[in-house]
Structure 1
Amino acid sequence: MSTEPKLMPEPVRNPADDHLLTPENCAIVFIDFQEGQYATVGSTSRAEIDLGAITLAKLAHSYAVPTILSTVAVDMGVNRPTVPELTNELPGVGEIDRTGVNAWEDAEFRKAIELTGRKKIVMAGLWTEVCLSFPTLDMLDEGYEIYPVIDAVGGVSTVTHETAIQRMVQAGAQPITSLAFGCELMRNWARDDADLYRVIINDYFRRKRAIGAASGDLFR
């Protein structure tokens, strides 16, 4: 066994055709992170959803991953736009509004996905059982690899949220969490860009501690 300190990163695998997620081979999608959707989530708290969703947005921006942001019924005057907690982390990313609950049925949304040229789609949406699961099922059927970010989503109830996850997994989706996704992008602590993730992970645990302190559960 070598006694020399290990200070250099291992060789970088081809980021374009890596079977794992890299900044060069995936795109990130946020669907319907709007006040009305948050208000009806019962499977978890808004703070817990934001813990994952804001982390995902920070990763998207820091690693320059193509990002698509979609809303429903804003132009109709029914709903409000994406919450600022997310848009503040995604400068320059415009919103694609829809009338339908299934984003994949919206031509502008589909075109935006296709223009990324990427088949690995990391996706979060409110609610899990509708706005996330419907496009996930359709896109899987059309040959995309879908990675639902489970700690950045929520459903009307725990039952609907968990049932939706089961349905997506059975169809071939690959669940992921925000911090795990960050590790997959960063890959090695000795790389020059590892500090991008260090900033994000430190922010994550700061916000996680704040949630625990507010709830009285410091191990949350």
Structure 2
Amino acid sequence: MSFERFTGENATLLLIDHQVGTMGWVKSIPFEEMKRNALMLAKTAKILNMPVVLTSSMEEYAQGPLMEELETILPNEFDSRIKRLGIVNAMDDENFAKATKAPGRKKIIIAGVTNDVCTVYPALSLVSEGYQVQVVADAGGSPSKMADDMALRRMEQAGVVLTSTNQLIAEVTGSWSTPEGMQIVQEVVMPALQGA
């Protein structure tokens, strides 16, 4: 399988259900680590002008609202987020599917909560439709390690490329010496490494 790098110019980022309630159900990765990684992706996408689609499910119930930090980082995307009414596979939501396909890019980066429900199905759907999909495994998680492992294995077997936050950020940045690369180092990478 040939590899063509995902970049800010050719990829779209989907952040699925990073809601305060849902994130609290995750036990496969520490909450703060998952949160930090998701926010690192959002900041990187903003710096690279990458299209981002945010979605949430049933915010007024136990799932809760999206992380407020996402509104600070991506105010327009937050305002236009797709609010699903309990639809498990976000790609089955007409508005989400339309927003995902609108930029016309065949490379899709997904991070979602939880990996075993909210990430796996859109990833499988997009692969089946001919998209190249990378799932950022550590910017999401599942209620158990077993559930997470099963979801990641299922996605990988279907042709999804699994990646980590740092790996994906390095890939889409390409060079730390560009103005965007230097901004990503200063505002995204270094604060995370320093535990900020």
TM value normalised by structure 2: 0.91
C-alpha distance in structure 2 between counterparts of 1:194 and 1:114, whole Å: 27
- Structure of larger gyration radius: 1
- AA paired with 1:131? C
Which among 68, 81, 94 is matched to residue 95 of structure 1? Answer: 81
Matched residues, number:
189
Secondary structure, aligned partner of 1:151: helix
Aligned 1:43-58 pairs, distance under 5 A: 43-58=28-43
- The unaligned stretches of length 5 or more in structure 1 are 1-17, 211-220
Is the contact between residue 98 and residue 106 of structure 1 (CA under 8 Å) also seen in structure 2?
A: yes
Secondary structure, aligned partner of 1:19: coil
Is the contact between residue 61 and residue 89 of structure 1 (CA under 8 Å) also seen in structure 2?
A: yes
Is the contact between residue 53 and residue 86 of structure 1 (CA under 8 Å) also seen in structure 2?
A: no
Alpha-carbon RMSD: 1.4
User: Structure 1 residue 81 and structure 2 residue 65: aligned?
Assistant: yes
Aligned 1:1-220 pairs, distance under 5 A: 19-74=4-59, 77-78=60-61, 79-93=63-77, 94-99=80-85, 100-199=87-186, 200-207=188-195
Runs of 4 or more, structure 1, over 6 Å off, are none
C-alpha distance in structure 1 between counterparts of 2:92 and 2:17, whole Å: 15
- The unaligned stretches of length 5 or more in structure 2 are none
Q: Alpha-carbon deviations, 1:33-75, whole Å to 9, x = none? A: 112211211111110101211110110111110000000013x
Q: Alpha-carbon deviations, 1:101-131, whole Å to 9, x = none? A: 1101000000001111011110011110110
Q: Alpha-carbon deviations, 1:60-104, whole Å to 9, x = none? A: 111110000000013xx3243211132222121121011211101
TM value normalised by structure 1: 0.82
Secondary structure, aligned partner of 1:65: coil
- AA paired with 2:50? V
Which stretch of the first structure deviates more once superposed, 41-50 or 159-168?
Answer: 41-50
